[in-house]
Structure 1
Amino acid sequence: MSSHHFVKEQQEPAVLILEVDQVRFDQVSPLLEWVPTVLVSEKALELVLSWGIKIDVILASESFQSENQHLLEEQYPVRFISASADDYLQTGLDYLISSDHSAVHLVGLAHLKALDLREKLDLLNLTILDGDWKYYPVTSGEFKKWFAESTIHIHGEEGMPVQIQNENGELILPITYATMLEVPDGITEIKAPGAFWIGEQVYS
């Protein structure tokens, strides 16, 4: 069995590209290393096609599909899935769940929409690439990681208290719209009474 067929068995996190306004190819290309399933919204399609990558699913309106049947040959074996502009995300996630994927990178999704994904977190391992930042959920309410000295973003329900412990000491603060936290070299522990997301700046 070739490696291509091996990874198409949903072993690798899929890539769902929703918007490309704040996204560069060099940010996305590491996600494509093992030939994952790639879904692209109609809105992002033109730029993604210019990258020359293999697309598996195009999320598009029925009018777009009828006007762009040539893509079915040019990108074979691509398939269309009907979706309107306001439900690319939901339709893409439902497709991935129904096709037994367990993980997906969401490219070009505003991190502010992360809290809308709560019901999907039991079904999919999600990460969000929003501009230069990568976000991942902490569903257990407890998080522990070694960081290089940097700034991280804690995103969750407004007002939810979080307890933070690292070499700088311990503090408890409520999550606000943009809870940015300077972390020192070393282990940082974060605890909260509910799910939250951690954002790291992965590109500069």
Structure 2
Amino acid sequence: MSSHHIVRDDQEPALIIANGAACNNELLGQLLEWQPLVIVLDSAIERVSELNIKVDVLLGDFDRGFNPEAFVASQYPIEIIHAPDQNKTDLEKAYDYLIQRKIPAANVVWATGRRADHTITNLTNIVRYRNSLKIVIHDDHSKIFLLPTHFQKWYPKETIISLIPIGQVNGITTQNLVYPLHDESLMMGYRTGSSNAVAEDGIVTISHAEGDLLLMECID
């Protein structure tokens, strides 16, 4: 796989590569093509290097005998960030790094699949960064992001849309979905909005009064 273009513009989204299930090369290549900054968590660097991807930042706690210096020559120039805080995941530390650099957004791959606990944590932790970083998680079947209280986007008919509440979300109203919601509530573990779909080509509107609501654009 070719290296990404080197464009130094901290107003563009960064790309974070975690260590879950790999996505297909086409998706990864599309994201690499437009990312000015590529961050790889230490647990994934060997897999990433095997794909011949140029990395800008290697970040992690470097535990279990991991030696970051082993990748300096092949990835030169690379910034190595040692983040030993055990109270945060390495993905959260990558978010913190971007916030410190005042980079406003991040696309994330390899953050789902493999261990279920990691997947659930990576998805739900998006809400902690609501006010400081726009996060979109991509895999082969989904594009996942946190909704603002009022959201509009054009979709083709039959696009699968899932609304997943983190905790309880109240006052949800939708337009142009097959199964509309009218000032209703969703609650994790009791009622979610999984596997809804766009009714007709056009604008989908989703609003909610309170709570944290994830949108998943899904592909079977």
C-alpha distance in structure 1 between counterparts of 2:199 and 2:136, whole Å:
24
**CA 131–169 in structure 1, closer or farther in 2 if over 3 Å, else same:** closer
Number of the residue aligned with 1:190: 206
Question: What is the 5 A alignment of 1:27-46?
Answer: 27-46=27-46
C-alpha distance in structure 1 between counterparts of 2:129 and 2:179, whole Å:
34
Deviation at residue 22 of structure 1 after TM alignment: 4.3
Question: What is the 5 A alignment of 1:117-156?
Answer: 117-139=126-148, 141-148=149-156, 149-156=158-165
**CA 168–156 in structure 1, closer or farther in 2 if over 3 Å, else same:** closer
Aligned CA-pair RMSD? 2.6
Deviation at residue 101 of structure 1 after TM alignment: 0.9
Determine which of 152, 161, 176 is the counterpart of 1:166.
176
Question: What is the 5 A alignment of 1:40-189?
Answer: 40-63=40-63, 67-83=67-83, 87-110=89-112, 112=120, 113-139=122-148, 141-148=149-156, 149-161=158-170, 162-166=172-176, 168=178, 170-172=180-182, 173-177=184-188, 178-180=192-194, 181-185=196-200, 186-189=202-205
Deviation at residue 134 of structure 1 after TM alignment: 0.5
Percent identity over the alignment is 26
Question: Aligned residue pairs: how many?
Answer: 198
C-alpha distance in structure 2 between counterparts of 1:99 and 1:163, whole Å:
36
Gaps of 5+ in 1: none
Deviation at residue 96 of structure 1 after TM alignment: 0.9
Residues 155, 197 of structure 1: 8 Å contact kept: yes
With the length of structure 1 as denominator, give the TM-score of the two structures. Answer: 0.82
With the length of structure 2 as denominator, give the TM-score of the two structures. Answer: 0.77
For 1:106, give the aligned amino acid.
Answer: V
For 1:101, give the aligned amino acid.
Answer: I
Residues 115, 156 of structure 1: 8 Å contact kept: no
Gaps of 5+ in 2: 113-118
SS across alignment from 1:92: helix
